């Protein structure tokens, strides 16, 4: 049987196989946060002709069903069919933004002083052929040659010992070793006959609670080859880490949570290697940056004690592990470096972020904030650093917001509202892309603009009569940001409530941490902001919203996803790996959940921009206009 796509491409299928599966086999990957279980409703397709059998229509409106929409994971063809795949359903591979990013990353690496010195190196050796007089074993011959090349001891895992005799003889005693250098000893991670110095790739991974991002990196020159990202399909076990830990430890879902994240990563890697026609044997290293709980799920470590006072993780510093132990589908001996964490709620993603900002090398007092599903804040300089966590919720990554989405193609990333006509001007990620939803930076823009134009008040409540873009929606009042034939893109009152709660938590985090060290915003020279916002986070709008403190604009720097940048750094540079270890060791963790002033600060932040309007003098002026 065949499925014909609206693009003309034809895909093979067989009876009973879901359309999701058939497309996957053909290298076409749809979003399926729930892992193809008919729960998330993300893999929508439109059946244009032919008969299909659908086991579920969950998450589809009756209008959509009339139009031929179906869930690819729940639908199988009953004969030849033709389908259309809406852009929203296609798993995002951010190939288009790589060229610029690759140069930026290399420049950042250079300015951080990192040479290309990856975790795993390749060594080409020409061994002398054995004779009756030189009859030492193959392993001793290999060790002797390494020693002669000035390289020290050698550990050969049994996997490679088994075929060593064949491997060394295959290309006339020339071989290539992939090896990692640890504790004064080379550990072989792969052996190839002949000269296989290139190609050699690495995989840098940021596992966010909501989003997973994977970089494919050429280890020979440090170039970023491509990027792929996906929603973390653990979302079906809860939006936040606490719910997931409860599911893992009290409802026996540990294995499923581990498998969910591993499956996501394997999917992203398989997309990248298939798009670039790379042999997985040429992948030599994996570096993972993630919060403490995500690192536990990734490494299959029991996270149960993380959520109970006194909040103890199994480990903060993780031994180097191997792909095979964890389930990553590359050569099983590929070393997996997991970023060291600081405490249960300040993880490797924050260490990685600090590494990317370089604040640990500066005398200036800096603040670093990473706004993901949690907000984590670090304050300090090259002499000391303190860190804390504040639960911001996943809204800025698009989760829990009606039309929220990540900052990928089709996301509204900038919003401007005309104060007279209430016409909305938008900017969308991707050249000529059709708007499909709104990402973090778009939300901040939209709410700041809605506030300035009087669409919402200081409490975030909508004023119905201001414009006909304000209307009654499914979840109460909503504001139409973009009119579209099939589906208008809106922000609803509950959406705004979510965002205000998030920004209040972030601002409270800042102030509480500064209070702890007896400082104010005036003492801060630099604020680094990280997170999955759009390419252009508007600092002014974030200040109007009251998420960021009112400070001169030049003190702010928006860094994008610093977690994956730090992973990229560590993948390539030994020097930066040891910096990361130093950062994790020297950072002091402050527990905000037992801090009374944090709760007070949070409550004060539930206004736009803040209850204490005098700390926002410029916003006050704007409001008065």
Alpha-carbon distance of 301 to 287, in angstroms, equals 17
524, 501, 506, 525: which is closest to 606 by C-alpha? Answer: 501
308 versus 364: smaller Cβ distance to a second copy? 308
- For the CB of residue 410, give the shortest distance to a second copy in the complex, in Å: 40
DSSP assigned state of 603: H
Alpha-carbon distance of 119 to 316, in angstroms, equals 20
For 278-302, the three-class secondary structure string (H helix, E strand, C coil) is CCHHHEEEEEEEECHHHHHHHHCCC
Binding to a second copy by residue 321, rule CB under 8 A? yes
Binding to a second copy by residue 198, rule CB under 8 A? no
- For the CB of residue 153, give the shortest distance to a second copy in the complex, in Å: 8
Task: Give the one residue of 88, 209, 282, 316 binding a second copy; rule: CB under 8 A.
Answer: 316
Binding to a second copy by residue 301, rule CB under 8 A? yes
315, 325 contact by CB (below 8 A): no
298, 292, 448, 304: which is closest to 376 by C-alpha? Answer: 292
Binding to a second copy by residue 578, rule CB under 8 A? no
Please state whether the peptide bond connecting residue 399 to the residue before it is cis, i.e. omega within 30 degrees of 0: no
287, 268, 261: which is closest to 209 by C-alpha? Answer: 261
Task: Give the one residue of 305, 433, 551, 613 binding a second copy; rule: CB under 8 A.
Answer: 305
Q: Give me the sign of the Cα torsion angle 368, 370, 371, 373.
A: negative
- Interface mask (CB under 8 A) for a second copy, residues 43-72, using x and -? ------------------------------
43, 61 contact by CB (below 8 A): no
Which long-range contacts link 16-19 to residues 24+ away (Cβ below 8 Å)? 16/76, 17/76, 18/72, 18/73, 18/74, 18/75, 18/76, 19/45, 19/52, 19/70, 19/72, 19/73, 19/75, 19/76, 19/77, 19/83
304 versus 525: smaller Cβ distance to a second copy? 304
- For the CB of residue 131, give the shortest distance to a second copy in the complex, in Å: 5
Binding to a second copy by residue 119, rule CB under 8 A? no
- For the CB of residue 276, give the shortest distance to a second copy in the complex, in Å: 30
| Span 325-384, contacts to a second copy by CB under 8 A | 325-326, 343-344
Task: Give the one residue of 12, 115, 140, 364 binding a second copy; rule: CB under 8 A.
Answer: 140
Task: Give the one residue of 302, 364, 418, 425 binding a second copy; rule: CB under 8 A.
Answer: 302
Q: Which region, judged by CB under 8 A, interacts with a second copy, from 126-134, 204-212, 474-482, 574-582?
A: 126-134
Task: Give the one residue of 304, 381, 588, 595 binding a second copy; rule: CB under 8 A.
Answer: 304
525 versus 588: smaller Cβ distance to a second copy? 588
Q: Are strands 174-182 and 120-126 parallel, antiparallel or unpaired?
A: antiparallel
- For the CB of residue 235, give the shortest distance to a second copy in the complex, in Å: 23
119, 17, 15: which is closest to 74 by C-alpha? Answer: 17
Binding to a second copy by residue 264, rule CB under 8 A? no
| Span 148-187, contacts to a second copy by CB under 8 A | 155-156, 158, 161-166, 169, 183, 185
136, 139, 138: which is closest to 155 by C-alpha? Answer: 139
| Span 5-24, contacts to a second copy by CB under 8 A | none
310 versus 552: smaller Cβ distance to a second copy? 310
Alpha-carbon distance of 3 to 438, in angstroms, equals 32
- For the CB of residue 241, give the shortest distance to a second copy in the complex, in Å: 15
DSSP string, 333-349: T-EEEEPPPSBTTB-HH
- 464: which 2 tokens? 């119905």
314 versus 604: smaller Cβ distance to a second copy? 314
284, 197 contact by CB (below 8 A): no
Binding to a second copy by residue 111, rule CB under 8 A? no
- For the CB of residue 451, give the shortest distance to a second copy in the complex, in Å: 40
343 versus 506: smaller Cβ distance to a second copy? 343
How many positions of this chain bind a second copy (CB under 8 A)?
A: 46
Q: Give me the sign of the Cα torsion angle 299, 301, 303, 306.
A: negative
63 versus 172: smaller Cβ distance to a second copy? 172
Q: Which region, judged by CB under 8 A, interacts with a second copy, from 84-92, 314-322, 369-377, 519-527?
A: 314-322
527, 316 contact by CB (below 8 A): no
- For the CB of residue 161, give the shortest distance to a second copy in the complex, in Å: 6
Instruction: Please give the residue ranges that form the binding site for a second copy (CB under 8 A).
Output: 130-132, 134-140, 155-156, 158, 161-166, 169, 183, 185, 299-305, 309-317, 319, 321, 325-326, 343-344, 591, 594
């Amino acid at each position: 049987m065949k499925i014909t796509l609206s693009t003309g491409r034809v895909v093979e299928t067989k009876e009973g196989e879901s359309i999701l599966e058939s497309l996957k086999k053909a290298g076409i990957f749809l979003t399926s946060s729930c892992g193809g279980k008919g729960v998330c409703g993300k893999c929508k397709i439109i059946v244009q002709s032919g008969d299909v059998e659908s086991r579920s229509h969950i998450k589809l409106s009756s209008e959509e069903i009339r139009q031929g929409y179906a869930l690819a994971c729940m639908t199988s063809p009953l004969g030849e069919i033709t389908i259309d795949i809406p852009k929203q359903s296609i798993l995002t591979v951010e190939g288009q933004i790589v060229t610029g990013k690759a140069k930026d990353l290399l420049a950042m690496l250079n300015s951080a002083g990192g040479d290309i010195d990856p975790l795993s190196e390749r060594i080409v050796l020409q061994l002398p052929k054995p004779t009756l007089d030189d009859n030492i074993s193959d392993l001793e011959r290999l060790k002797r040659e390494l020693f002669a090349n000035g390289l020290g001891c050698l550990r050969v895992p049994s996997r490679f010992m088994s075929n060593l005799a064949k491997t060394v003889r295959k290309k006339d005693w020339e071989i290539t070793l992939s090896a990692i250098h640890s504790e004064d000893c080379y550990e072989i991670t792969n052996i190839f006959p002949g000269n296989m110095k290139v190609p050699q790739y690495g995989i840098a991974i940021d596992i966010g609670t909501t989003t997973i991002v994977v970089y494919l990196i050429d280890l020979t020159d440090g170039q970023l080859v491509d990027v792929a990202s996906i929603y973390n399909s653990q979302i079906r076990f809860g939006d936040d880490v606490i719910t997931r830990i409860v599911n893992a430890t009290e409802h026996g879902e540990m294995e499923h949570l581990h498998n969910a994240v591993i499956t996501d990563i394997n999917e992203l890697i398989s997309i990248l290697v298939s798009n670039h026609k790379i042999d997985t044997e040429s992948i030599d290293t994996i570096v993972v940056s993630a919060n403490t709980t995500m690192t536990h799920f990734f490494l299959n470590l029991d996270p149960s004690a993380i959520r109970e006072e006194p909040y103890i993780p199994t480990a903060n510093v993780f031994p180097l592990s191997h792909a095979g132990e964890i389930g990553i589908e590359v050569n099983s001996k590929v070393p997996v470096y997991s970023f060291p964490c600081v405490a249960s709620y300040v993880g490797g993603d924050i260490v990685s972020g600090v590494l990317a900002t370089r604040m640990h090398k500066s005398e200036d007092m800096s603040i670093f904030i990473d706004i993901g599903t949690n907000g984590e804040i670090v304050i300090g300089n090259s002499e000391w650093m303190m860190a804390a966590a504040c639960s911001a919720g996943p809204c800025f990554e698009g989760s829990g917001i009606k039309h929220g989405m990540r900052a990928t193609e089709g996301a509204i990333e900038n919003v401007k509202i005309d104060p007279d006509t209430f016409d909305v001007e938008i900017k969308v990620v991707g050249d000529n892309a059709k708007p499909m939803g709104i990402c973090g930076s778009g939300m901040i823009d939209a709410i700041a603009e809605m506030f300035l134009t009087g669409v919402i008040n200081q409490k975030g409540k909508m004023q119905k009569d201001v414009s006909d873009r304000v209307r009654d929606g499914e979840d109460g009042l909503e504001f139409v940001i973009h009119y579209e034939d099939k589906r208008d893109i809106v922000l609803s009152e509950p959406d705004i409530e979510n965002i205000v709660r998030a920004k209040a938590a972030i601002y409270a985090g800042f102030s509480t941490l500064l209070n702890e060290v007896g400082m104010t915003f005036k003492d801060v020279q630099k604020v680094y902001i990280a997170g999955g916002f759009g390419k252009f986070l508007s600092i002014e709008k974030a200040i109007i919203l009251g998420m960021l403190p009112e400070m001169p604009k030049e003190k702010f720097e928006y860094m994008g996803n610093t977690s994956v940048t730090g992973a990229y750094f560590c993948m390539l540079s030994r020097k930066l790996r040891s910096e990361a270890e130093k950062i994790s060791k020297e950072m002091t963790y402050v527990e905000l959940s037992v801090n009374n002033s944090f709760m007070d600060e949070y409550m004060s932040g539930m206004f736009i921009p803040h209850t204490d309007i005098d700390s926002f003098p410029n916003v006050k002026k704007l409001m008065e206009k």
